Amino acid sequence: GAVVSQHPSRVICKSGTSVKIECRSLDFQATTMFWYRQFPKQSLMLMATSNEGSKATYEQGVEKDKFLINHASLTLSTLTVTSAHPEDSSFYICSARKSWLAGGWEGTDTQYFGPGTRLTVL
Amino acid sequence: EDKVVQSPLSLVVHEGDTVTLNCSYEVTNFRSLLWYKQEKKAPTFLFMLTSSGIEKKSGRLSSILDKKELFSILNITATQTGDSAVYLCALIQGAQKLVFGQGTRLTINP
């Protein structure tokens, strides 16, 4: 199996607050997790790559101090949106890829997505 | 710059029709091409294609990759209303990042 969960599924917060989103691989170990955001009717945009036990790699234009990523274990990565503003409102999706031991060549290339978190900042 | 282009962007057909979705790409360090189906939430994995000319099949869905012409197609036969979704094509480059196309919004009318 390859099930990825996200929590919460929906969050509404006031401007200036911080929001934490969790991404968990439920039935496999994920050495690498990815965080995306998706605006309405647009495709997924990669924000950052999260590697277990090391610092995340951010895509160009993504503020690392605003979007804090922690990948503390092989099954959990968190994204914290700090001092959220209305323009941060979006659909945030994580994905996870299996470790080599768990998935082999094909398994490590396939990314399995969580159900997403819809963030609304008022 | 790596690029994934899907066509058509939108397609409306009747239940029972067969559809073909296209994905062409330009990428410097190709590893694999993946197809996903996205309904209201996050994408669900359909196929991963690595080798040219080998068809992958799952029920009414099938897909094939042509690495010489740099494209892939996703076929859906005997479409059903439950096939309505956005279908995303994505490439994995050497860096293992996914580069997504814009998606094809497929609507199946009863």
**Does the pLDDT of residue A106 top 60, yes or no?**
no
Q: In the beta sheet, which residues pair with residue A119? A: A11, A90
Alpha helices in A3-111 (DSSP H): 100-109
HEC string for A2-54:
CCEEEECCEEEECCCCCEEEEEEECCCCCCEEEEEEECCCCCCEEEEEEECCC
Condensed to tens digits (0 to 9), the pLDDT of residues B17-73 reads 999 999 999 987 788 899 999 987 788 989 999 889 999 999 999 999 999 999 999
Residue A37, CB half-sphere, CA atoms under 13 Å: how many? 17
Hey, are the CB atoms on A44 and B48 less than 8 Å from each other?
no
Task: Give the distance from residue B56's alpha carbon to the nearest chain A alpha carbon, in angstroms.
Answer: 14
Residue that is written with structure tokens 């509404």 in the block: A12
Given pLDDT bands bounded at 50, 70 and 90, which one contains residue B95?
Answer: low
Which pair of tokens denotes residue B110? 């009863």
Helix (H), strand (E) at residue B36: strand B30-38
Hey, are the CB atoms on B41 and A116 less than 8 Å from each other?
yes
Q: How many residues can be counted in chain B? A: 110
The predicted pLDDT at position B12 comes to 97
**Does the pLDDT of residue B1 top 80, yes or no?**
no
Q: Which residues of A touch B96 (CB under 8 A)?
A: 32, 49, 97, 108-109
What's the one-letter identity of residue A78? T
Interface residue A109 vs chain B (CB under 8 A): yes
Task: Give the distance from residue B103's alpha carbon to the nearest chain A alpha carbon, in angstroms.
Answer: 7
- Cα–Cα distances (Å) from B78 to B7, B82, B110, in that order, read 20, 11, 12
Q: What is the mean pLDDT of residues A22-34?
A: 90
Spatial contact of A93 and A116, defined as CB atoms under 8 Å apart: yes
The predicted pLDDT at position B5 comes to 95
Hey, are the CB atoms on B42 and A97 less than 8 Å from each other?
no
Condensed to tens digits (0 to 9), the pLDDT of residues A81-105 reads 999 999 999 999 999 987 655 555 5
The rounded mean pLDDT for chain A is 88
Q: Which residues of B touch A110 (CB under 8 A)?
A: 32, 34, 45, 48
How large a percentage of chain A has pLDDT more than 90? 62
User: Quick one: CA dihedral B11, A4, A64, B28, positive or negative?
Assistant: negative
